[in-house]
Every structure is written in structure tokens, then in C-alpha cells.
Structure 1
Amino acid sequence: MPQSKNMARLTEDMKRELISVIGQMKDPRVQGFLTVMRVEVAPDLSSAKVYVSKMGADDATEQAVKALNRAAGHVRSEVAAHMHIRKAPEFRFFADDGAKYATHINELIAGLKREE
């Protein structure tokens, strides 16, 4: 089911605020090259899936996801305060390996160009 314009705008605003709040966190597992790849908000605003990716060691993304899930309540209250909304969704963070996959594809393409 396609999202309405208002829901898509709310999702993008929420993503922007999530990036801001996560960027201000002091946890060393979250600091660095952490990227919020996408946010999927439920239509009733009860929950939101946040897919994140972090460059670095192989387990860096998993460590960041653990830290973010532990701080989900703090992130929720900060996002609600910044967006001035009464009902903020419950955030669940997941690892997204899209950036790693894109890097792998680029390496394969570069290898093909070298063979020619």
C-alpha cells in the first residue's frame, strides 16, 4: 500500500531528526560513520523500523544496533521533543548491509573494466 504524502513527509522529517539525535549521542559504538539508511513508520505511528549502517569493522554495525536499541527510549523522547509531536513511535533499529553490498558491486564492476 503506497504511503500518503503526509506520511512520507513525516517519515522524512523523522529520519532527519533521528540523524540529528543519533549524531549527538556520546556512545563510542554509535559515533563515527553511522548512516540511517531508511525509516519505515507504521501507519498508526506505534512503531518504526530504522535501518542503519556503519563503516568500519565487520561487527561495527551490529555493535551500533545494540547500543541504539538500548537507547531507544532516549531517542524516542528526543525525537518527540524536537518534532513537537505528542505520540512518537517506538523505534527498533536493524542493521542494513546495503552500503557494503554497493561497495562489493563497485569492486566487481571495476574488476571487469580492468579485464577489458
Structure 2
Amino acid sequence: MSNKRSPSGQGPSHRQLRVGELIRRTLSDVLNRAEIHDPELNAMSITVGEVSCSPDLKIATVYVMPLMGSVPVDQAIAALARNKAELRHRVSQGLTLKYAPDLRFRPDETFDRLDDTRRMFSDPAVARDLAPDEDEDGAAGG
């Protein structure tokens, strides 16, 4: 019996989620404590929003965003990519995996999607569609 998930399966496995969260916490701690030997990176306030791992745990995609727009996101990603080897080494110290995952940094667009969703719900046409019908309320109450 095979216990493997199919590539088109239902999403990440429990192990992928657990390893991703461990990587996220480790990177957050390292960046928060300014433990990297790059003054430019240490001067940035970067939040690590999410880490998603490939099924074989060899690639970790790290979604980051500078706090309060302190620096452009592409500049923060470039600084992280420049220090990828040192960050990978720090992550591997905190994990008990056969291989240290390759880190790939991407902008975290979660907040942009939240703003778009809020904008959509504040649209009068959408608000009208979401409002309860008065006919249904009167019929249900009587």
C-alpha cells in the first residue's frame, strides 16, 4: 500500500505544513535577531508570512514582506537571495532533515488580496446582494 499523495492531490501533507512552519519560525527569529552578516539585510524589518515546501521537502518557497513599506519588496528579496546560503545554513541547524531545503524568496501578496477583498465587499452592488431579503425575514418570522 502506498501512503504517498498524488501530485494533483488535496494539498500539502501534514509534514510539509509542519516543516514549513518550522522554517518560518527559524527565519523569523534569525531576521529578528539580525544574525546575518549583512548590514543592509539587518537594517531591514522583514516579516515572513508563510513558507510552503515541495512534497520532497527539498525546496521551500518563503513569502516575505518588508514591514510598513520600509524598503521596496524587490530590494528585500534581493538582500535575502544574496544571503541565501547563510540563511539555509541557519535553517538546517534547527531542522532534522536529510537535506537542507533550497530557499526561494517571493513577495507575500496576502495583504494585497485582503485589500482587494475588502474593496469588493464595500462595493454597493455586492453589499446589496449580500443583504438578507426582507421578504424572507417576514416569511420566516410569521
- Normalising by structure 2, we get a TM-score of 0.63
Give the structure 1 partner of residue 31 of structure 2. 22
- Normalising by structure 1, we get a TM-score of 0.74
Unpaired runs of 5+ in structure 2?
A: 1-8, 125-142
* Structure 2: distance between partners of 1:66 and 1:76: 15
Unpaired runs of 5+ in structure 1?
A: none
In structure 2, do the counterparts of structure 1 residues 32 and 99 end up closer, same or farther at CA, with 3 Å as the change threshold?
farther
* Structure 2: distance between partners of 1:29 and 1:106: 32
Mapped contact 1:50–1:92 kept (Cα < 8 A): yes
* Structure 2: distance between partners of 1:96 and 1:27: 23
Give the structure 2 partner of residue 5 of structure 1. 14
Give the structure 2 partner of residue 62 of structure 1. 74
Corresponding residue SS for 1:28: helix
Matched residues, number? 112
The answer to which of 64-73 and 14-23 deviates more is 14-23
Q: CA RMSD in A?
A: 2.8
The alpha carbon displacement at 1:84 in A equals 3.8
